[in-house]
Amino acid sequence: MPSRPSSSQRYNGGAIALHWLIAALIIGGFYIGWIMTDIPGFTPTKLKYFSWHKWIGVTVFVLAMIRVLWRATHRAPPLDDATPAWQRAAAHLVHGVLYLLMLAIPLSGYFYSSAAGIQVVYLGVVPLPTIIGPDQALKAMLRTVHVLLNYTLLTLVAMHVLAALKHQFVDRDGLLARMVPFVK
């Protein structure tokens, strides 16, 4: 069994913290989105969940921008030389699409709110500019886009997690230890 990756083969603490913080926020945002859309009518609880969902989306967008900037200035730790070329290509493709979705999903939600005529007020304090005026047709299209992008993200995250678990428990190549500090 391979040993734990060296520090040059691991992500640094900042990248690890951003990864897990963004992951937790995405899970929370997806969960709240799932719950809030099942609440019938227009209740105070539903309004509260919509606000939380939007705040999480804005936070994910900002942290994802930081993550993209970090990634543009820092090389990812190299994959093991034994990793097949198709797995390297798949990993790069999935990571690229994950970054894209972490930016596109909050933007689609923001534009959806704008087209619905609802201003996003971050944390109930910072009003974000309204870029799109109310437009019912655009609202319906953006809602569909937002939902489809979220389910695409859910699918890719599931693939990402399954691939990480495969590397940990089937391949036993230490890949998971690059991003999880307590895994050997």
pLDDT tens readout for residues 103-138: 999 999 999 999 999 999 999 999 999 999 999 999
The residues facing 126 across adjacent strands are: 122
Residue 183 lies inside a defined structural domain of this protein: no
How far is it, in rounded angstroms, from Cα 170 to Cα 165?
Answer: 8
Q: Which CATH number goes with the domain that contains 79?
A: 1.20.950
| Positions in the chain whose pLDDT score sits under 70 | 1-8, 184
Q: What is the pLDDT of residues 88-100, one digit of tens each?
A: 999 999 999 999 9
Nearest of 99, 111, 97 to residue 144 by alpha carbon:
111
Structural domain total, the chain:
1
Residue 136 lies inside a defined structural domain of this protein: yes
Q: What is the span of the domain harbouring residue 110?
A: 7-178
Residue 14 lies inside a defined structural domain of this protein: yes
How far is it, in rounded angstroms, from Cα 165 to Cα 172?
Answer: 9
